[in-house]
Amino acid sequence: MTAPASVDTGNGSSVVADRQDLVRELHHRVKNNLQIIVSLMNVQKRMLPAERRGEIRFLEEHVQSMAAAYRVVYASGELVKVPMDDLIREVVAGLVEIAGVSSGVLRLADCAAHSMIDLDQAIALGLYLAVAVPPYLDHAKEIGGFVAISTRPGEGEVTLSIQGGWAEALKLDGLRERLIDGHVRQLAAEILLPRNGGRLQVSLPTQPEALPSP
């Protein structure tokens, strides 16, 4: 009778480490490739007439926001989880730069959800911000106002708010409305406020951040 094959677990930890290194390298390459695309679009945008630069800006914002998710996951040392607050800061910083507004226009208020989301969720959240935030930045620049973004943790969820410092409604175009609805569904989120004022608010399902070992 043939003896049952034994399972060699002596190098199991090295196999896991090799896989982790491979995933990190993939994240690094994707991040760099997306950043190259952003840079190329930025060059192309500068070569276009002013009235056509908005076409490139829309694409630039979306690619930059996807790249932000990979920058954050790579910098955090995680493989498939992304700190939500770090992601929001990274994405919004890029949107502010692309919009050409001063840093004082944006107020990151109480971004302290301390929650982790999957990389796929992080990309969807980055794209949601890429659609929702630029009109607020543009309007704030036009009227000399500000935009406040905040996160508030709850039980298994985080409320994300984008608040303009004005009372009147900010009308989003049809494309942005459809994209926001699509990203909200992708995030399994819930829109908490009607979009008839200067505020967008959604509730996002999350996972609690792991606490450091004592």
What per-residue confidence (pLDDT) applies to 3? 44
Domain boundaries, the chain: 19-208
Residues of the chain above pLDDT 90, percent: 23
Query: What would the mean pLDDT of 89-118 be, rounded to a whole number?
Result: 83
What per-residue confidence (pLDDT) applies to 214? 38
* Rounded CA separation 136/145 (Å): 10
* Rounded CA separation 113/110 (Å): 8
- Is pTM beyond 0.95? Reply is no
DSSP for 49-70 reads -GGGHHHHHHHHHHHHHHHHHH
Res 5 pLDDT > 60: no
Q: Which of 24-38, 138-152, 183-197, 200-214 is modeled with the greatest confidence?
A: 138-152
Q: Which of the pair, 59 or 3, is modelled with greater confidence?
A: 59
Q: Which of the pair, 3 or 155, is modelled with greater confidence?
A: 155
Selected from 3.30.70.20, 2.60.40.10, 3.30.565.10, 3.40.50.410, the CATH number assigned to the domain covering 19-208 reads 3.30.565.10
The model's pLDDT over 166-202, given as tens digits with 9 standing for 90+, comes to 888 788 888 998 999 999 999 989 887 655 557 888 9
What per-residue confidence (pLDDT) applies to 20? 66
Side chain identity at residue 107, one-letter code: R
